[in-house]
Amino acid sequence: NAGVMQNPRHLVRRRGQEARLRCSPMKGHSHVYWYRQLPEEGLKFMVYLQKENIIDESGMPKERFSAEFPKEGPSILRIQQVVRGDSAAYFCASSPTGDLNEKLFFGSGTQLSVL
Amino acid sequence: AQKITQTQPGMFVQEKEAVTLDCTYDTSDPSYGLFWYKQPSSGEMIFLIYQGSYDQQNATEGRYSLNFQKARKSANLVISASQLGDSAMYFCAMREVHTGANSKLTFGKGITLSVRP
């Protein structure tokens, strides 16, 4: 039973380019969460999605960032016109439901570096 | 106000000894869950232990136990018999039910633990 799969593991982009980060949740999990981690910081919530729906995007910057979780295929976090401040580790997590006592299973993260 | 507070600087412990990592939280929600995750240098987030706000007993998972003091709003992680592989960042996190965002985890800034041989 594969865990949460994120790719790429490392992504290098120049300022102004687009970054697309992919996340395949664990089998049977329909809830996906994206988090961002800056160096020496904890994880900051960005967005919570269920299949085809954005449930909570309160942590997403208003511009340049978008996320989707289509009926088929992985969840995508898209960052348009990247800037140096977007450099961070982006983690995806999944869970089968949104129950209170349910742990989130995390992927290994995508390290985005903006040159 | 911060939801999760982890203020200890880098922690050091001798191999085979026990260590306590502190976590305090802030919520007005009567129903919530507390989690601890470990992040080794390789970067992945590893779940360690969970404590529900209504749980009567402190949670235990192998060498990990949670010292849950509800009135003080603290949920300290105790690692017994430390091993070299325990060297990592440790994050405390909380999930609230009635705030309208009952699924997301809110994380603290983490504590670095180094185990000395």
Of residues A72 and A16, more confidence is placed in A16
Span B65-89, average pLDDT: 96
- Closest to B91 in 3D by CA, of B104, B102, B103, B106: B106
| pLDDT of amino acid B103 | 67
Q: Which chain B residues are closer than 8 Å to A49 by Cβ?
A: none
Q: Which chain B residues are closer than 8 Å to A42 by Cβ?
A: 4, 6, 91, 107-110
Q: Is 60 exceeded by the pLDDT of residue B100?
A: no
Distance set, CA A14 to CA A36, A82, B40, B59, B78 (Å): 19, 7, 29, 46, 44
Q: Which of A43, A99, A108 to mutate to test the interface with B (most CBs of B within 10 A)?
A: A43
Span A17-28, average pLDDT: 96
Nearest chain B alpha carbon to A97: B103
- CA separation for the pair B42, B45 (Å, rounded): 9
Note the pLDDT tens digit of each residue in A71-101.
889 999 999 999 999 999 999 999 988 777 7
Q: Other C-beta atoms within 10 Å of A9: how many?
A: 11
Note the pLDDT tens digit of each residue in B12-37.
999 999 999 999 999 988 889 999 99
Peptide bond before A8: cis, by omega within 30 degrees of 0? yes
Nearest to B109 among A42, A91, A93 (CB): A42
Amino acid symbol at B21: L
Sign of CA dihedral B57, A101, B18, B110: negative
